[in-house]
Structure formats: C-alpha cells, structure tokens
C-alpha cells in the first residue's frame, strides 16, 4: 500500500468514466460568506520566495519556502494539473504531514484551493482527513494536512478491498468500513458542509482499517434551510457519482452526498457503476431511469445492503435514507445488539449553535451594534452562571455580523494565565493579525503615534508590518516605565479610534472574571469621554464570581455617559422549562419524549448541561435518578484510550491553552498525535484555539470535572511534569513555571520563577501583576536576608508605580529593616511615598527619623519652621550661590544622601506644607552648594527660583538670578531633566505672579521633555500637569479643563494617589462640576476625597477644599452657608500663614468678598456684609499682581450695584477691561453680563448675549448660575 493522502493531487482527473464535469468552471462561484474568518489558520509572509518548478522535484526549489514554516520535504508523493503533493516533516515537532502546493495560479484555482482548506479547517473527526495549515508568501501557496498512511477504498476494477486487522469475514469488514464512511459524511453534514465529490478515489483506508474521507475542493456550505449555498444552475462534481438534482444544477441537500455514497456502495457490491456512457448519456439516464438491479442479484450479496444501496439511489432526494438510517442498516445484527453500530453520533450535531431562548438577548446586542454604527460607543456586560450560554450567545451574534460591516476582535481570560493585561492579550494578537493582513500603507495610516509604547506593553504588536517603519523619534527606552504604560494605554485608545473611523469595531472579551486590574485600566480608557472610539465592547463573566471580584465590581459600575457612551447590562439566565424542552427537542429530534423531560429536570435550564445530557441520552446512557454532569464528563473521559486520557488530564492540569509541541513532551508522541487530539476534539473534550493552534479543554466544566476526580498525587505529578518540560524547553513564560512548580510542591524553585516573572511584569508596566508575583516569591522562598530585602524593595517599587503609595511606603520600610546598607535610601523613598500619596502625618514621622539620622533637626511648630526658613534664606543670601564644581564621585556618599533627603522632602511637601517644603529646599540648596555637586545645585536653584516669587512680583528679580545660574550649569551638562525642571520652574513662577497664559508654554514644554527624555519623574510630571490645570482654571478655559480632568483623575485613582486626587478633587473638581451643572455630585466627591487627608495642620489642600466648597455653595445659591463657612475657617487660614503667599491670598480674599456679596443679596440690613466686601476690595486693589487688582475692581462694582440698583454700568465696564487684560476670562464674561444688565436697549442685550455665548462656548451648562456665583450683584432681570 502507498502512503499517500490521495493518488493524484488533481482529484478531478479522469481515471474513471466521465469523472469530472463543471459548467464553465462555475465552481469558483461557490459562496463563502466568511472568506477571511478569524479562525482561518493562514500564514502570510511579505518576503517573496522562489516559485516552484512544476516539471520536477528539486529539494532546493521547495525547501526555502517550507523551511520558513518549519517543514522539511521528504519526497514527492504525486503531481497533477493543479499542484504537487509532498511528504514533509515538521522540523520541530517531528510530525509527518502531506504538503499540497498550488501550481496554477488562476483566480478559480486559488479560490478552490483556499476553499478546500477553509471549508473544513475546523473539522475534527476520525473519518475526515484533518487539515492543518494554509500558507502563502503572497506568491506561492501550500496547505498541510494529515498524512493518511492508507490505500484505495476500492480496487481499480471496482471490487471492495477488505482492509483492516486480520479476522472476520469480508461482509463484516465492508459494513464496518462503509459505516465509518457514513460517520465521516454525517459529521461533515452536521457541520453544515456538503462534500459534493464523494467517490472511491476520495476515500482512503489505513492498514488498521480506519476509513478517511478526503479532498474538500468542491465542498460547500449548507444554508439554515438545509440547501446548499450556490448560484442557480451551477453544476459541479464527478458525473458518475453526482445525484440527479446535482447534475441539472438543482437545489442540493445532504441527500446529494448520500446518493454518491450509494453509487460507491453499488460499485463495491457489483464491481460496476450503475450508469455508463458519455456525459450526456449518464446525465440523461439519471433523470429518467432507476439504476439497473441485475448486477446486484448475486446470491453472495447481503440483501439488506442491496436494499440500502437502491434506496440511496432514489431519484427523488426525499426518498433517500437519512444518516441515522444508513448507519443503522449498515450494522450487522451483532453490532446492532451491542451498540457498536451507533457508537458514533450521526445527525445529532447541528450546524452552528442554538439560540433557543436567547432571541431577546440577540436583539439587545443588535441594538447596541446599531448605536455604534450610528457613531456612539457601546459596552454590553453579558453575565450569567457558568454554562448558561454566554459564549455561545456572543459567538452567534458575531457570526451574524456581515464581514464587511465591522472589525471583529476576540479575546479571553484564563484562570491560571498570569500574563500582563490578560484580557487584552488575545485581543491585541487578533488585532495584530488584522493589521498584518492589510496593505502597508493602510497599516501606517492606522498605527497610533505611540505604536512603540504599545509594542512595549504587547510585544506581539511588533509584528504589525508598519511598526518597523515608524521612526523612533524620542528614546522610548529612556522613558519612565509609568510613562511608557500611560502612552501604551493611550495608544490603544488611539488605535481603536482610527479603526473605528474606518469601520465599527466589535471587541469581545470572554471570561472577564479572570481578568486583572491592568486590563481594567485599558477598558476604562476605551470608554472614557470625550470622543471615545467607535467600538462595541462585549464583556462576558460568570455571575457567581462577581461578588468577590474587585475587577467585576468596577465593571458593574460602568455607566452610560450621554450622549457618547451607552452601557447595557444583559443577564443570561437559565432557560425556562419550555425553552429548555424546545432546546432538547431540537437536539434530540424525534428521540425526545420522556427522556427529554428527564434532561430538562436534571439540567435546571443550563444550556451546557442540556447539551451534554442530550448527547448522553443519544449515545445510550440512561438518565435514571439524579445525574451529575461532572460525573458524566469524568466517566466519558475514563472510556478513552490511555493516550487520549493522559492528554486530557495533562491539558486540564495545564490550566490554560498550551502549545501542542509542549504537550507532546509532557505526554509523549502518542498523546499528542493528531488522531488522539482529533478524538478528544470530536468528543468535545478538547479544542484548539488561536493562530498558534494552542490546545485547551473544550469547556471549563470539562477541566473542572477532570481536576475534581484526579487524585492529588496524580495532579502534583502532572504539575511537576509540566514544570520540568517547560523549563527544559526554555520558551515558556516564568509565570507558567512558577505556578506549576508551586502546585507540584517545589516551593523554592517556584519562588525563583515568581521573582523572575515579577521583574518581567514590571518591565512591561504590568505593575499590579508584579506586586502579586513579588509577594508570592517572598512568601515561598527561603531567601538570604539581603535578597529578601531587595525583593521587598522591588515589590515596593512596583507598588509605587501601581499607585499604591501607602503600601509602597510600608514595603520600603520592611526592606530597610532587613538591609542596613540600603536602609537610608529605602527610608527616604518610604517617606516620599507617604507624602506623595497624601499620608502626611506618618510621612512626616518617617522624615523626622531620617532627619535625625543624617544630623538634621526638623521643626515641629510653625513659628519654628518660619524662623529656620528665614535663617536658611539669610545664610543663602549672605553666602551667595557661587561654588567650585566637584564630581559626585569625589563627594562622600553620606553627604549626597543628606542632599537627596532634602530634595525628596522639599519636593513632596512644597505643594502641601509650603513652609516646611521651602525649609528643606533651602537647606538642601545650602548643602548642595557646600558639597559643590553641580547637577544637584542646579536642581535646587531651579526650584528655588519658583519659590521666591510666592511673595509676589517683588521676587521676580531674585527668581531670574537663580534661574540664570541654573541655566548656566544645565548648559554644561546638556541634562534633559534640568532643561525640563527649568521650564517647570519658569511656568510655576509665571503662574504665581498671575501670568497664567504665559505659564502654559513653559509647563507644556516641561511636560514634553519629562515624558520623552527623562525617567523616574512621577512628581515632576504630576506637578507640570497640575499647574497647567490651575492655569486653565484661572483663565476660565473650562472646556479644556473639563476635557483634561477625567484622564488625570482616573490616573490618580488608578495609582491610589491621595495627594494627586486631592489636588484634582477640590477646587478644580468644584469648577468642573459646577460648569457641568452637577454641583451635588461635586460636593459629595469633594467630601469623600478630603475624608482621608491629614487634619493636623491647615495645608494648601485644605485651603483648596475650602475654595471648592465655597464655589459649590455659591453656585447652588446657598449664600448664607458660604459666608458662615468662610468665616468659620478664617482662623485656620490665618494660622497657617498661607496668607503670606500672594496667589492663594488673592483667591481667598476674592472668595470671601463674593460670599459677603452673595449673602448681602436679599438681606434687610446688607450693609455690614457690603462693608466687609468693600474692605476686601481695597485689599485686592493694593496687591502688586494685576489680576488681584482686577478682581478688586469687580468686587467694587458689585458693591455699588447692590447699594444702588440704578448705578452707572461704567464700574462694570472698567472691571471688564481690567479682567480681560489679566486674562481672567470667566470673571470678565460675568462682569460683562452685569454691565449689560445696567446698559439699556440693544447695547445691553448685545453685552449679555456676548457673555452668555462665551460661557456656552466653554461648555458651561447653566451660564446664569455661574455668573451669579462669580459676580454676585443682585441679578433679578433677564433670568
């Protein structure tokens, strides 16, 4: 016997009479509604290779292309008009396959070649040839398939060849082999496919007697009504075997294939074809006459098989037997009695999946997709118990989407998978494949600006063709890890935005209950307004896991944001009894009845239970009493051959999809053979997933059933085997190794891999994952003290980058306690994390201990702080800033540590407790000048230049002197950090002196350099962004403020950064909230964020919270409450000495004046309040800052208006002029409206309209309420 998949690769040759007939090659028009399905295993290389020489076999001609895919050609097996078939071996796995090439590159030939693969690529049945891979380099094409070591089904003379194990008579073998062919054909039909070319040459038999149906070149799909999807009048197939309706281009059903089956049976029984002659004669005879019966009248032929043969050849398709009938009638009496004749399922599997009871859910998904097509963003939470059919529902919905209407991407989370961003890992793989398949010009247009940062998060994304062509620009490898993470996540949003502009995107993430916190950040970024991408996000998760999952808790909190984001909740519960009965009846058909009712009672409405139990009933398992599905699955797995059972156990223990080559090493070659995997797939125990054909359990319940019954000892053995094989392979991620060594009981080895995995997670900015992995490494390992300290410090760094400042500080302190050599540095970092994250009191305690260690006294009382600060400034003034530079290496480490402690303390406190922060910065500058280390000197000089202007414009000269000195030093070193810090200090100084618009370019430049050319600059980036927000608030640019605020707030929330949350969640929050006409929510959020802030001293954050509360009170019309609040907090404000800083002093005075003005409105005796406002106006007018004087002018105008309603509008006109000159846009618009109220006629109306238009353009939803809060002047008209 020859070892070939078929004798002639051109399977439509003419070795049999009238074998092939096509009408104008219309086979190329066969409809494939999904020509580019995501599950096609297609490999496309952009590198051209040498074309094949069709006339000869030369290893040099074919090897380059095949070796690129890991194949080595052994020999040529056959050659025909369409192509060449080779026997090949995969060089890595050793698997031998048949490799079929396409030689004639015509559109029709290529279409048929690809269809042959795609139509049956996902089929898995012992009696169907298994297709593996379709490969193209853009010019040449080949596919690989199972190499069937067998021979022809029938002899050349048509006689049946009784192949198989010795023993038994020819009749039994004939029945067995035709029954196998029937099983294979029925499985093909169950998948919704017609073969259309069943004939002896397309059936092979192995030496073991296995029958295999091959060649799907003419196969096509069947519609839901059971008819073949083809163009009317199309005639394709082999004339001798085609059914009468097929010969005239009629509508085809599965009966056409059973007719061809009957022809093969006829030939096996008689040795002849029933119809002979020319093509026309055969076609005519099939329409007019029944097949001749005389060749079948031999006495040695079984009458029942003759009867079956003639029934199959009925001219009317409706008169032909069904698959069930064929299998039953092929069974011998003995096989029928012991059940062997129906051991395999025939017609039970249905095409596609059932949606009984899910029609309402599909309509909801259709509505969500329609909203996305209309330009909105959608998110649908699909949740329900395990086995309820969530995944089936989503797959059905996705399959119903026309391919040209949406870009569909699918991802899934796995319980034991510990990859970063696990919910999006598969999505990005799928997205990368989508991009790779596009022309390079289109890919380049779609890629986001920060594509390289995205590739840092998801290395697979580097495969996208145009990524390599993206200019590097800035040094992305020099970026701070958190900045890489931020950019990468922003790039995902950008990329989906570009894709959505091209076509709606449907993104499905299955089993979200096993996701991670890093993935949640990406999800929230995609849904964040304004202008989120045009994408429909489908999230499925188990209901039973929601309660204990913080990830799902946040997902459940997703809300619609009108008018852009629509969030829908879709519960997939169990089926009702009627729906369950309908589903079981659909599955069992006429075999339902009482057994169907028993299944419904047992399954409790769970669709997966229903399907599995229906299969058990169909296969003859008795449902008698309570039946456990887990037990049913376990029992089914125990009936498998040994190699299949071991493969199933191994995959279940692996816990996630695994490469087949790794499975081979774990269970041996037999366990990973294609026959074994095909058997497991056919029995719905395993499945293959992804472009890399990874192996996993068919359903989680299968894995759970196997693990529940697997003895602990055996499970540990599998874990250890997985760990050792993966370790030897050297290609599996460290998380996988850590988990399996851990569960095998090898804790010390596991700890080593957990540590490696943690470092890897940190390197791709998956900080939450790194935290968990470092914790596991610490808990399991027996580390030496210094190594344990280093791991604890690394965990502390991951916590800091993940935004968990409090936990980070505590971890740094634990590390410091274990390693004296690094203790001071880690204590310093701990103090900084406490302070940066807003835990001021404990941070100051640690800082005080550090100060004592380095010989510094840290003042406790405010008056002591002031005294020491002035003393330091005096020393600095007396000493000057000249120094003779020394290299850092020549300076004692202890001296540098003291300088660095001052820097950490000063930067972390300067925007919280200004006096204490300024004290540390001035002491640090003195230490740096004495040590003469130039870089540190320049840093302190740059920051001090911003601090000296807090008293007002009088400090500008000194600030410029300090900044010039820092600039001169920076020029010598070309240090990007110093360049950015100088821009930051310039922007801060401009803001403090009221030059708000002039500050923006400097702050923006600082942010840009920090982002692109610096590392480890979290505080600096936050500071640049926060001060930018304060500038926008002062300018009244509420639209831009509101656009930036959500992202900054979410970033602070994600990091758990109380300091940043308070800076953004007080005065800025109140302004954003009132502009959006949502003061109540802003009030609640402000109180919530301040509840965790230190209450020991009155910090700048307390003052900002006071201003925020006052703004909300004024906006809501709670004027008396505003006045009482500002008076109540006045003593704290005065004691804090914040009033000595010009910028917050001006803000405080103008708010106090506005509260007095508002409270005076409607009072019987408003004069005391008006006098208070008048005093504040005079204070403002005395300020050196123009913006303070402009606000004083507005307060004066409001006082005059309240005292004399008929006052001249000139006072407001003067205020408008000064406010506009100071760039206080919101106050200027409010003053203009007041001016319009006092100006009669059209001129007044124009002024009011102009003011309202300005406010509306800034996104302020209730302009009049905003005007009343900013210019309380007794508005009574035009409301």
Question: For the chain, how long is the longest CA-to-CA vector?
Answer: 127
> How many helices and strands in the chain, by DSSP H and E?
55, 20
Q: Residue 197's CB: how many other CB atoms inside 10 A?
A: 25
CA distances from residue 123 to 40, 197, 327, 555, 659 in whole angstroms, order as listed: 12, 17, 20, 36, 19
**∠ CA 392-498-480, rounded to 5°:** 100
Q: Residue-wise over 1115-1131: b if at least 16 C-beta within 10 A, else e?
A: bbebbebbbebbeebee
Taking the alpha carbons of 315, 319, 322, 327 in that order, is the dihedral positive or negative? Answer: negative
Q: Alpha-carbon distance 256 to 195, whole Å?
A: 9
Q: Residue 714's CB: how many other CB atoms inside 10 A?
A: 12
Tokens 């005096």 — which residue? 874
Dihedral angle of Cα 790, 794, 796, 800, to the nearest 10 degrees: 150
**Secondary structure class of 703 (helix, strand, coil):** helix
Q: Which helix (H) or strand (E) holds 109?
A: helix 107-118
Q: Alpha-carbon distance 721 to 141, whole Å?
A: 39
Phi and psi at residue 995, to the nearest 5°? -90, 70
Helices within 122-236 (DSSP H only): 170-190
Tokens of 1218: 């000064």
Angle between helices 976-992 and 1018-1035 (to 10 degrees): 30
Bridge partners, 379 (sequence order): 537, 567
Could you say which DSSP state residue 7 is in? S
Q: Alpha-carbon distance 688 to 660, whole Å?
A: 9
Decide: 176 and 209 in contact? Cβ < 8 Å: yes
The backbone region for 966, taken as left when phi is positive above 0, alpha when psi lies in -120 to 50, beta otherwise, is: alpha
CA-wise closest residue to 316 among 237, 263, 256: 256
Annotated catalytic residue: which of 197, 215, 975, 1176?
Answer: 197
Residue 166 burial (10 A CB sphere; 0-12, 13-18, 19+): exposed
Q: Alpha-carbon distance 1118 to 443, whole Å?
A: 56
Query: For the residues of 903-957, what is the DSSP string, one character each?
Result: HHHHHHHTTTSHHHHHHHHHHHHHHHHHHT-HHHHHHHHHHHHHHGGGG-GGGHH
197 is catalytic: yes
Q: Alpha-carbon distance 824 to 805, whole Å?
A: 18
Q: Which helix (H) or strand (E) holds 567?
A: strand 565-571
Cis peptide, bond prior to residue 243, ω within 30 of zero: no
Beta 407-412 vs 84-90: how paired, if at all? unpaired
Decide: 1054 and 550 in contact? Cβ < 8 Å: no
Q: Residue 94's CB: how many other CB atoms inside 10 A?
A: 10
Annotated binding-site residue? 286:
no
Q: Alpha-carbon distance 801 to 766, whole Å?
A: 9
Dihedral angle of Cα 213, 215, 221, 222, to the nearest 10 degrees: -40
Decide: 891 and 924 in contact? Cβ < 8 Å: no
Q: Alpha-carbon distance 343 to 328, whole Å?
A: 11
Angle between helices 914-931 and 862-879 (to 10 degrees): 30
Query: For the residues of 1253-1264, what is the DSSP string, one character each?
Result: HHHHHTT-S-HH
Residues annotated catalytic, as ranges = 197
Detail the residues annotated as belonging to a binding site for ATP: 100
């Amino acid at each position: 016997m020859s070892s070939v998949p078929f004798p002639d690769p051109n399977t439509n040759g003419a070795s049999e009479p009238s074998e092939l007939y096509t009408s104008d090659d219309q086979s190329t028009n066969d409809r494939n509604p999904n020509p580019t399905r995501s599950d096609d295993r297609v490999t496309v290389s952009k590198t051209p290779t040498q074309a094949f020489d069709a006339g000869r076999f030369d290893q040099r001609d074919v090897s380059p292309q095949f070796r690129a895919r890991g194949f080595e050609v052994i020999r040529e097996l056959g050659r025909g008009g369409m192509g060449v078939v080779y026997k090949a071996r995969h060089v890595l796995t050793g698997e031998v396959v048949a490799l079929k090439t396409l030689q004639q590159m015509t559109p029709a030939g290529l279409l048929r070649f690809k269809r042959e693969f795609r139509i049956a690529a996902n089929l898995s049945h012992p009696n169907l040839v298994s297709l593996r891979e379709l490969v193209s380099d853009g010019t040449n094409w080949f596919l690989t398939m199972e190499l069937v070591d067998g021979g022809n089904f029938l002899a050349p003379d048509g006689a049946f060849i009784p192949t198989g194990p010795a023993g038994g008579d020819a009749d039994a073998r004939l029945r067995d082999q035709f029954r196998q062919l029937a099983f294979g054909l029925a499985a093909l039909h169950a998948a919704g496919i017609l073969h259309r070319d069943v004939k002896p040459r397309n059936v092979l038999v192995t030496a073991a007697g296995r029958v295999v149906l091959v060649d799907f070149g003419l196969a096509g799909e069947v519609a839901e009504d059971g008819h073949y999807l083809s163009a009317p009048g199309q005639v394709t197939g082999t004339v001798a075997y085609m059914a009468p309706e097929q010969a005239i281009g009629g509508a085809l059903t599965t009966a056409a294939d059973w007719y061809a089956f009957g022809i093969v049976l006829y030939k096996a029984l008689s040795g002849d074809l029933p119809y002979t002659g020319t093509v026309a004669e055969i076609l005519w005879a099939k329409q007019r006459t029944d097949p001749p019966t005389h060749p079948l009248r031999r006495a040695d032929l079984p009458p029942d098989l003759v009867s079956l043969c003639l029934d199959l050849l009925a001219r009317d398709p409706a008169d032909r037997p069904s698959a069930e009938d064929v299998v039953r009638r092929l069974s011998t009496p003995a096989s029928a009695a012991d059940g062997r004749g129906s051991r395999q399922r025939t017609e039970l599997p249905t095409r596609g999946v059932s949606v009984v009871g899910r029609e309402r859910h599909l309509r909801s998904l259709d509505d969500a997709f329609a909203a996305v097509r209309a330009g909105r963003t959608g998110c649908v939470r699909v949740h329900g118990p395990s086995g309820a059919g969530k995944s089936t529902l989503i797959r059905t919905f996705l399959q119903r989407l026309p391919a040209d209407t949406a870009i569909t991407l699918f991802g899934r989370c796995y319980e034991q998978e510990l990859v970063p961003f696990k919910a999006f890992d598969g999505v990005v793989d799928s997205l990368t494949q989508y991009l790779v398949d596009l022309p390079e010009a289109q890919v380049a247009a779609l890629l986001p600006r920060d594509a390289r940062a995205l590739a840092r998060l998801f290395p697979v994304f580097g495969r996208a063709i145009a990524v390599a062509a993206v200019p590097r620009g800035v040094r992305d490898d020099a970026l701070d890890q958190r900045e890489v993470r931020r950019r990468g996540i922003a790039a995902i949003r950008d990329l989906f935005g570009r894709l959505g502009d091209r076509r709606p995107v449907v993104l499905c993430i299955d089993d979200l209950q096993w996701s991670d916190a890093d993935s949640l950040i990406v999800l929230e970024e995609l849904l964040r307004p304004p202008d989120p991408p045009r994408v429909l996000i489908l999230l499925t998760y188990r209901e039973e896991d929601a309660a204990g999952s913080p990830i799902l808790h946040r997902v459940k909190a997703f809300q619609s944001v009108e008018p852009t984001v629509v969030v829908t909740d879709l519960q997939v519960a169990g089926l009702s009894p009627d729906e369950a009965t309908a589903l079981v009846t659909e599955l069992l058909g006429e075999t339902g009845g009482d057994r169907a009712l028993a299944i419904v009672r047992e399954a409790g409405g769970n669709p997966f239970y229903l399907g599995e139990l229906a299969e058990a009933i169909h296969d003859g398992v008795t449902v008698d009493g309570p039946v456990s599905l887990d037990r049913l699955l376990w029992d089914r797995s125990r009936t498998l051959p040994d190699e299949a059972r071991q493969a199933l156990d191994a995959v279940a223990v692996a816990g996630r999809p695994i490469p087949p080559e790794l499975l081979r090493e774990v269970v041996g070659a037999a366990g990973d053979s294609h026959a074994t995997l095909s058997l497991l797939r056919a029995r719905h125990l395993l499945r293959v997933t992804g472009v890399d054909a990874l192996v996993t359990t068919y359903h989680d319940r299968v894995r759970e059933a196997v693990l529940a019954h697997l003895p602990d000892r055996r499970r540990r053995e599998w874990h250890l085997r997985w760990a050792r094989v993966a370790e030897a392979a050297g290609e599996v991620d460290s998380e996988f190794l850590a988990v399996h060594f851990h569960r095998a009981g090898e804790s010390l080895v596991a700890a080593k891999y957990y540590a490696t995995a943690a470092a890897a997670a940190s390197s791709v900015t998956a900080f939450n994952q790194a935290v968990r992995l470092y914790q596991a490494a610490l808990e399991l390992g027996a580390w030496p003290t210094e190594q344990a300290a280093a791991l604890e410090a690394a965990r502390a760094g991951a916590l800091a980058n993940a935004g968990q400042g409090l936990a980070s500080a505590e971890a740094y302190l634990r590390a410091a306690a274990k390693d004296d050599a690094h203790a001071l540095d880690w204590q310093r970092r701990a103090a900084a994390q406490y302070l940066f994250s807003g835990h001021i009191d404990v941070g100051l305690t640690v800082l005080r201990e550090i100060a004592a260690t380095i010989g510094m006294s840290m003042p406790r009382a405010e008056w002591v702080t002031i005294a020491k600060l002035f003393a330091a400034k005096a020393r600095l003034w007396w000493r000057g800033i000249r120094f003779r530079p020394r290299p850092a290496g020549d300076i004692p480490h202890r001296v540098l540590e003291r300088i660095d402690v001052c820097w950490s303390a000063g930067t972390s406190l300067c925007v919280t407790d200004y006096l204490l922060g300024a004290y540390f910065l001035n002491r640090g500058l003195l230490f740096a000048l004495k040590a003469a280390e130039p870089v540190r000197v320049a840093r302190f000089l740059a920051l001090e230049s911003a601090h000296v202007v807090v008293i007002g414009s009088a400090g500008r000269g000194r600030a410029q002197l300090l900044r010039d000195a820092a600039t001169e030093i920076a020029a010598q070193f070309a240090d990007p950090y110093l360049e950015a810090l100088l821009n930051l200090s310039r922007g801060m100084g401009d803001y403090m002196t009221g030059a708000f618009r002039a500050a923006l370019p400097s702050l923006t430049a600082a942010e840009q350099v920090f982002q692109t050319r610096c590392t480890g600059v979290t505080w600096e980036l936050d500071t640049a962004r926060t001060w930018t927000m304060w500038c926008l608030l002062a300018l009244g640019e509420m639209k831009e403020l509101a656009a930036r605020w959500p992202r900054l707030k979410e970033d602070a929330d994600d990091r758990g950064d109380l300091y940043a949350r308070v800076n953004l969640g007080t005065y800025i929050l109140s302004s954003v909230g009132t502009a959006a006409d949502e003061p109540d929510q802003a009030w609640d959020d402000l109180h919530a964020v301040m509840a965790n802030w230190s209450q020991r001293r009155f910090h700048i954050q307390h003052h900002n919270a006071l201003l925020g509360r006052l703004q909300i009170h004024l906006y809501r019309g709670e004027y008396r409450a505003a006045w009482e609040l500002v008076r109540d907090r006045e003593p704290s404000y005065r004691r804090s000495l914040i009033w000595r800083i010009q910028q917050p002093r001006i803000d405080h005075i103008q708010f106090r004046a506005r509260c007095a003005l508002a409270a005076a409105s409607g009072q019987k005796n408003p004069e005391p309040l008006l006098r208070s406002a008048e005093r504040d106006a005079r204070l403002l007018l005395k300020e050196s800052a123009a913006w303070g004087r402009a606000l004083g002018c507005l307060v004066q105008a409001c006082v005059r208006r309240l005292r004399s309603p008929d006052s001249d509008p000139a006072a407001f006109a003067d205020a408008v002029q000064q406010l506009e000159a100071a760039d206080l846009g919101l106050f200027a618009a409010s003053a203009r409206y007041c001016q319009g109220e006092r100006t009669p006629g059209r001129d007044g109306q124009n002024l009011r309209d102009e003011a309202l238009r300005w406010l509306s353009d800034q996104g302020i939803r209730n302009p009049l309420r905003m005007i009343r809060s900013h210019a309380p002047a007794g508005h009574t008209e035009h409301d």
